Structure 1
Amino acid sequence: MSDSLGATGPQGLQGSAQGAGSAAPAAGDLIKDTTTQTFAADVLEASMQTPVIVDFWAPWCGPCKQLTPIIEKVVQQAQGAVKLVKMNIDEHPEVAQQLRVQSIPAVFAFKNGQPVDGFMGALPESQVKRFVEALAGGALAPTQAEQMLEAGQAALDAGDIGAAAQAFAAVLQEDRENPKAIAGLARCYIESGDHDRAAEVLGLAEGKLAEDPDVKGAAAALEVARSGAATANDDLAPLQAAVEADPANHQARFDLAVALNAAGDREGATDHLVEIVRRERKWNDEAAREQLVQFFEAWGPMDDATKAGRRKLSAVLFS
């Protein structure tokens, strides 16, 4: 929306609302409805003091009904750092037309009488919060859902799968499209060995949600877990012997890397895959590099093995 925001200044809007007699919103009035006649006071004038978010909606718009309560919640959480003004475009279409709104929900942020940011479509609460934080110029206090997600991740890191699953499931009961909760609960099932249930949870992520980094990481972890399950109980000695006998036996080294990861030896798995890349990067359509990337997604970007592995891979690729 940056082009339409940048192309429309306050002058045209001011003209449509010229002569409005409404006073600026009272202090502490964080959320209100506006009209064409009161838009200048409610938004343009008010934004000279406090950033104002304008939510263009209509009664027939399903996504609007999803988004508006989320914006209201986050604005209230901001405790006066921003205000929210809602405009029904069925009753008051003029301002939306001047802002070139072509679909709803459409959200604009105003500062100092100017539109400065915006987005279209229903977004999850986490993205709405980032939008408001950027406008307010500071981080907001964590929501209850964010606190539950943090507790769930801490429990998962500590190996308390039951407590972690309860926390992530509680968030999903309130927000079935929360990507961190989907990914967290899926990882709980992966850790417990219930791969089918993990896949069922990941099935909640559809469309753009499936591209969320947390969801993609959990999906990669499921693929790695499923491939590793076939080798988890294998004797590594034959594979190790095959690699020692012929260091150029890339398939044996690849299989050994997968088996080592299944056994919990991430460093060993990384080293063997990096060695394949060093010897013959194009082998099997760059299977070693692609397996490393999948491992990194599955382990997570902050895992020590991921950080070390990326450094080792980069050293080989760019040497």
Structure 2
Amino acid sequence: MIELGGQQTPAPAAGDMIKDVTEATFMQDVVDASQTAPVIVDFWATWCGPCKTLGPMLETAVAKTKGAVTMAKVDVDQNQRLVQALSQQGLPLQSIPTVVAFVQGRPLDMFQGAVPASEIDAFIKRAIEAAGGDASGGLDEAVAAADEMLEAGAAQDAAETFAAILQEEPHHARAYAGLVRSYLALDQVEQAEATLNGAPVEISQTPELEAVHAQIELAKQAANAGPVAELQAKVEASPDDHQARFDLANALHANRDVEGAVSQLLELFRRDREWNDGAAKTQLFTIFDALDAKDPVALAGRRKLSSMIFA
């Protein structure tokens, strides 16, 4: 997670904060850039009357953040393939203007049509808070300490620490996610799911909780995963057996070979992207969401999948 507070740095130039983005630069200027700070994407068109009012208001609001967010402007008429691909991934772009906040590589929040300046400011504030944390001072330090416990294998101690933090700040998304991850590390999948379901609605859509939701889904699948060797042999004997390849990917992931699982799912998507209602793409997004936003497997996998989608 990116901390936006702390040491101040000079505000970036306006040209760095507000860019015209095309299909060719979308991955770099939106998806990759949002790993560092939120990117507000304005989907507009020259013939759109409300766009002419909303665009300058967005630019003003973004400029006020002094680099805490950046803005990408996408002309939908000039980038129809990009718009179509994003729509196929579940982003509703049938009406413009549409404004989407990308945080840590994926869309977090959006609105359509012209809105008052106060609503724009609130929209941007939510994006900044989602990327920068929702607690301060000692609580953040306590969360970092609990994270270290969890990484060291002390899942029970980590769970107790995360629970104590939530007693003080029930809306701390990182602590809630940490508690869920602790239960998963203890193989208490049902408790992890119950904890996630009990999260306050205000933080239910944060990247941290979206990630542990994906981790829970993968943990459930792991319980039913088949033997890797048998599935590998089945795929080698029949490369077009899509179900076997999908099952192999799940088995590899259950055995902590995340890169291998992603590779098999990408190959399945390459062979038949529509198989089983796009199951390969859906599973890839679940794996990516479960990983840290800067995980090299997630970054490389997202890039490869996007290149296939846009091809």
Per-residue Cα deviation, 1:198-228 (whole angstroms, up to 9, x for no partner): 0121122243421111111111100110111
| Distance in 1, Cα, partners of 2:301 & 2:132 | 31
Shift of 1:118: 6.5
Q: 2:211 aligned with 1:217, yes or no?
A: yes
> Which residue of 167, 179, 187 maps to 1:185?
179
One-letter amino acid matched to 1:228: A
Equivalent pair of 2:133/2:173 in contact (CA under 8 Å): no
One-letter amino acid matched to 1:179: A
| Distance in 1, Cα, partners of 2:285 & 2:275 | 15
Q: 1:280 to 1:161 in 2, by over 3 A?
A: same
| Distance in 2, Cα, partners of 1:265 & 1:131 | 30
| Distance in 2, Cα, partners of 1:191 & 1:128 | 25
Residue aligning to 2:197: 203
> Looking at both structures, which has the greater relative contact order when contacts are Cα pairs under 8 Å and sequence separation is at least 6?
2
Q: 1:242 to 1:184 in 2, by over 3 A?
A: same
Q: 2:284 aligned with 1:292, yes or no?
A: yes
Per-residue Cα deviation, 1:101-129 (whole angstroms, up to 9, x for no partner): xxxxxxxxxxxxxx9x9659xx99x9499
Shift of 1:236: 1.8
Indicate the percent of aligned positions where both proteins have the same amino acid. Answer: 38
Q: 2:154 aligned with 1:160, yes or no?
A: yes
Q: 2:139 aligned with 1:145, yes or no?
A: yes
Alignment of 1:234-249 (within 5 A): 234-249=226-241
Residue aligning to 2:253: 261
Q: Which runs of 4+ in 1 moved over 3 A?
A: 117-120, 126-132
Shift of 1:254: 0.3
Query: What secondary structure does 1:284 align onto?
Result: helix
| Distance in 2, Cα, partners of 1:311 & 1:317 | 10
Residue aligning to 2:270: 278
Equivalent pair of 2:265/2:284 in contact (CA under 8 Å): yes
Per-residue Cα deviation, 1:170-198 (whole angstroms, up to 9, x for no partner): 21111222211111100110111001110
- Give the greater-gyration-radius structure (CA): 1
Shift of 1:131: 11
Residue aligning to 2:223: 229
Residue aligning to 1:318: 310
Alignment of 1:2-151 (within 5 A): 127=129, 142-151=136-145
| Distance in 1, Cα, partners of 2:230 & 2:215 | 26
For structure 2, the 5+ residue unaligned runs are 1-117
Per-residue Cα deviation, 1:264-297 (whole angstroms, up to 9, x for no partner): 1011100000001111111111100100000111
Residue aligning to 1:171: 165
For the aligned residues, what is the CA RMSD?
Answer: 3.1
| Distance in 2, Cα, partners of 1:144 & 1:246 | 56
Tell me the TM-score normalised to structure 1 length.
Answer: 0.54
For structure 1, the 5+ residue unaligned runs are 1-114, 133-139
Query: What secondary structure does 1:211 align onto?
Result: coil
Equivalent pair of 1:182/1:204 in contact (CA under 8 Å): no
| Distance in 2, Cα, partners of 1:169 & 1:222 | 19
Q: 1:209 to 1:269 in 2, by over 3 A?
A: same
| Distance in 2, Cα, partners of 1:216 & 1:131 | 14
One-letter amino acid matched to 1:192: L
Q: 1:308 to 1:236 in 2, by over 3 A?
A: same
Per-residue Cα deviation, 1:72-120 (whole angstroms, up to 9, x for no partner): xxxxxxxxxxxxxxxxxxxxxxxxxxxxxxxxxxxxxxxxxxx9x9659
One-letter amino acid matched to 1:312: K
Residue aligning to 1:54: none
Q: 1:157 to 1:310 in 2, by over 3 A?
A: farther
| Distance in 1, Cα, partners of 2:131 & 2:227 | 50
Q: 1:269 to 1:143 in 2, by over 3 A?
A: same
